[in-house]
């Protein structure tokens, strides 16, 4: 148990876990970055449909699937003190969904875009939902088996390492999607197949996690009639956590514009897909590397400051997109660089905040509740964003997105309580 381990022993375990959590997280994040939710995926779906709502939903689908079931998973996993095999076991069959979709895409061919679209939403949605099943056990292990310092380093180096790898392979993505590539839909099938292969490679890494005890197992699992009122009490009585959820909801609504920047670049700024997708991806990735390296230092010292600075800076993305309509695509490139710089601070910062804030016994519930509420907002966001894009255009959508991120920043500055390094909320 952690209370009978010496500081030196705990440090060795943290260092060992850091390597394996980093390897698992790198493989996972590189896989998802290859089929970028704000670049490759909306561009792919735009080849299959002209519905802005479906295009917007495609960029958020994995996040919805990942976050939506976590509250119900949390209710189940609190029965167990050890969560490792609740993470490793379900991963074995479930991380092959993208490989299956790649094979289906090649088999269907370019003449059946409607069936490819159905297959995409089915396989990609199931991949996100499957990852939602293991998200709470993974987060709980990160919270118990890495301390605040090593957790911030792992999250920061994950994003930085992912960024460096993506910078190296972005030209290859451009070649695959370019005129000299294999053509649609085989070109996108190659990217989905590569992403699925990396997800499959990540499966055995989790076996090597050294899980330290966290919260005590709950002998009696509350009935749904007891469970939901308890969640209401948490939201009513815990002001900082309530502010955290409101901030996350604002951030999700800000992200409703994310899948439309590529369409804006190709349809209104006159860029081709083979130019817009790899260039925007490269700019975002370059910013991600810089931001993640900064977070490995700043997040271990003041996670709250990292969140506030990130939200302040990311307001530049919709502003730059609006400027690009007047002066050309250069401001949009700058906006994507800044977006990468800041989201690599904001998203790890959010996770680090809730893992450090929650009592170990309540951590699965706090993580699950936060993510499930955010899932609802993330699911609604594409319908709002798609409707605005179809009826009013891209620029009003970017303006609404700017208002949302300003709301998130206001909550972070006014209501969110900093969580001191190493302090666990009781």
pLDDT block averages, 10 residues each, the chain of length 426: 69 93 94 86 92 87 82 77 84 85 95 94 90 86 87 85 85 86 93 94 91 72 70 86 94 90 88 79 82 81 89 93 91 90 85 84 82 84 91 95 96 79 35
d(CA 44, CA 369) in angstroms, rounded, equals 32
Instruction: Pick the closest to residue 69 from 119, 120, 137 (CA basis).
Output: 137
Residue 288 is predicted with a pLDDT of 80
Instruction: Pick the closest to residue 122 from 74, 62, 79 (CA basis).
Output: 62
d(CA 102, CA 120) in angstroms, rounded, equals 9
Residue 163 is predicted with a pLDDT of 81
**Which residues are within 8 A (CB) of 88 and not within 5 positions of it... i.e. 6 or more apart?**
203, 206, 207
In this structure, how many other beta carbons lie within 10 angstroms of the beta carbon of residue 328? 13
Residue 2 is predicted with a pLDDT of 43
CA distances from 313 to 62, 150, 164, 180, 327 (A): 25, 25, 22, 38, 21
The pair of structure tokens assigned to 123 is 């396989």
b/e for 94-111, b at 16 or more Cβ within 10 A?
bbbbbbbbbbbbbebeee
Instruction: Pick the closest to residue 94 from 66, 72, 52, 54 (CA basis).
Output: 66
Q: Where are the alpha helices (DSSP H) in 299-361?
A: 303-314, 316-327, 330-357
pTM equals 0.73
* 111-134 pLDDT per residue, tens: 999 999 999 999 999 998 888 888
Dihedral, CA atoms, 11, 306, 65, 131, nearest 10 degrees? -20
Residue 321 is predicted with a pLDDT of 94
Domains and CATH numbers, the chain: 2-414 (1.20.1250.20)
CB 28 within 8 A of CB 335: no
CA distances from 268 to 100, 201, 283, 329 (A): 34, 40, 19, 10
């Amino acid at each position: 148990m952690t209370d009978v381990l010496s500081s030196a022993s705990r440090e060795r375990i943290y260092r060992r876990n850091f390597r394996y959590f980093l390897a698992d997280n790198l493989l996972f994040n590189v896989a998802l970055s290859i089929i970028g939710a704000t670049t490759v995926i909306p561009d792919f779906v735009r080849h299959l449909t002209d519905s802005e709502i479906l295009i917007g939903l495609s960029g958020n689908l994995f996040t919805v699937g990942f976050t939506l079931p976590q509250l119900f998973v949390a209710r189940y996993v609190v029965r167990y003190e050890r969560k490792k095999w609740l993470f490793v076991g379900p991963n074995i069959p479930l991380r092959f969904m993208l490989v299956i979709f790649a094979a289906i895409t090649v088999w269907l061919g370019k003449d059946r875009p409607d069936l490819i679209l159905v297959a995409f939403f089915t396989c990609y949605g199931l991949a996100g939902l499957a990852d939602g099943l293991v998200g709470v056990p993974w987060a709980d292990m990160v919270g118990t088996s890495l301390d605040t310092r090593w957790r911030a380093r792992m999250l920061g180096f994950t994003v930085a390492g992912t960024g460096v790898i993506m910078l190296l392979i972005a030209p290859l993505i451009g070649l695959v999607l370019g005129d000299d590539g294999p053509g649609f839909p085989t070109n996108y099938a190659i990217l989905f197949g590569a992403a699925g292969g990396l997800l499959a490679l990540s499966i055995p890494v989790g076996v090597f996690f050294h899980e330290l005890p966290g919260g005590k197992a709950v002998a009696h699992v509350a009935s749904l009639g007891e469970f939901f009122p308890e969640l209401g009490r948490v939201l009513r009585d815990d002001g900082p956590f309530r502010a955290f959820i409101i901030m996350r909801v604002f951030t999700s609504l800000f992200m409703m514009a994310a899948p439309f920047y590529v369409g804006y670049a190709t349809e209104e700024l006159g860029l081709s897909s083979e130019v817009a997708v790899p260039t925007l991806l490269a700019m975002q990735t370059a910013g991600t590397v810089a931001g993640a390296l900064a977070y490995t230092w700043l997040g271990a010292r003041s996670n709250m400051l990292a969140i506030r600075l990130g939200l302040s800076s990311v307001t530049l993305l919709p502003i730059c997109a609006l400027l690009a309509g007047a002066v050309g695509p250069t401001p949009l490139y700058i906006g994507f660089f800044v977006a990468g710089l800041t989201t690599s601070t904001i998203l790890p910062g959010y996770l680090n905040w809730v893992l450090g804030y929650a009592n170990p016994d309540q951590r699965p519930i706090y993580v699950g509740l936060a993510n499930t509420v955010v899932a609802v907002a993330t699911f609604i966001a594409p319908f709002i964003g798609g409707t605005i894009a179809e009826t009013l255009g891209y620029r009003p959508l970017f303006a609404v997105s700017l208002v949302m991120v300003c709301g998130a920043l206001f909550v972070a500055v006014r209501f969110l309580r900093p969580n001191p390094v190493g302090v666990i909320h009781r």
